Structure 1
Amino acid sequence: MPNPFTSLSGYGATWSTKRRVLLVAVAITALLAVASIAAWFTGNDGPRHEGSTTPSATDSATASADPTQAPTSSGTGSVPRPPRISDPLAYAKAAALMLWSYDTRTTSRDQELAGMQAWMTTEAKYTDWPSVSGQVPDPVLWSRMHHNAQHATAKVTDAHYPSAFKQALADDPSAITEAYLYYVTVTGTQQIAWTKGGSGAEDRAVTLAVQCRPSHDCALAAIGPDVAP
Structure 2
Amino acid sequence: MRKRLPSVSLSSYGIGSSTNKRIAIVALVVTVLLVTAATVAWVSGSGNGHPDQDPAAPAPAPAPTSSPSTSEAAPKPAAGSGSVPKPPQIAEPVAYAKAAAQMLWSYDTRDTSRDQQLAGMRAWMTGETTYSDWASVSGQVPDPVLWSRMADQDQHATASVTEGHFPSAFKAALADDPSAITRAYIYVVTVNGKQQIVWKKGGSGAEERAVTLAVQCRPSHDCSLAAIAPSVTQ
* Whole-angstrom CA distance in 2 between matches of 1:208 and 1:183: 6
The amino acid across from 2:226 in the alignment is A
Give the count of matched residue pairs. 202
Change over 3 Å in CA distance of 1:128–1:198 after alignment to 2? same
Aligned to 1:186: 191
Deviation of residue 35 (structure 1)? 5.0
* Whole-angstrom CA distance in 2 between matches of 1:128 and 1:226: 15
Deviation of residue 45 (structure 1)? 4.6
Q: Tell whether the 8 Å contact from 1:4 to 1:148 is kept in structure 2 after alignment.
A: no
Aligned to 2:11: 9
Aligned to 2:29: 27
Matched, 1:212 2:208: no
The amino acid across from 1:138 in the alignment is D
Matched, 1:100 2:105: yes
Aligned to 2:75: none
Deviation of residue 4 (structure 1)? 6.7
The amino acid across from 2:224 in the alignment is A
Deviation of residue 13 (structure 1)? 2.4
Over aligned residue pairs, what C-alpha RMSD do you find? Answer: 2.0
Q: Which runs of 5+ in 1 are unaligned?
A: 47-73
**CA displacement, residues 168-220 of structure 1 (integer Å, 9 cap, x when unaligned):** 11111111000000000000000000011100001100000000000000000
Change over 3 Å in CA distance of 1:178–1:114 after alignment to 2? same
Aligned to 2:82: 77
**CA displacement, residues 12-67 of structure 1 (integer Å, 9 cap, x when unaligned):** 32144212211111222321244533332232159xxxxxxxxxxxxxxxxxxxxx
Aligned to 1:224: 229
Identity in percent? 69
Deviation of residue 158 (structure 1)? 1.1
Q: Tell whether the 8 Å contact from 2:211 to 2:228 is kept in structure 1 after alignment.
A: yes
Matched, 1:89 2:94: yes
The normalised TM-score by structure 1 is 0.83
**CA displacement, residues 90-134 of structure 1 (integer Å, 9 cap, x when unaligned):** 000000000000000000000000000000000011010000000
The normalised TM-score by structure 2 is 0.81
Matched, 1:145 2:150: yes
Q: Tell whether the 8 Å contact from 1:38 to 1:225 is kept in structure 2 after alignment.
A: yes
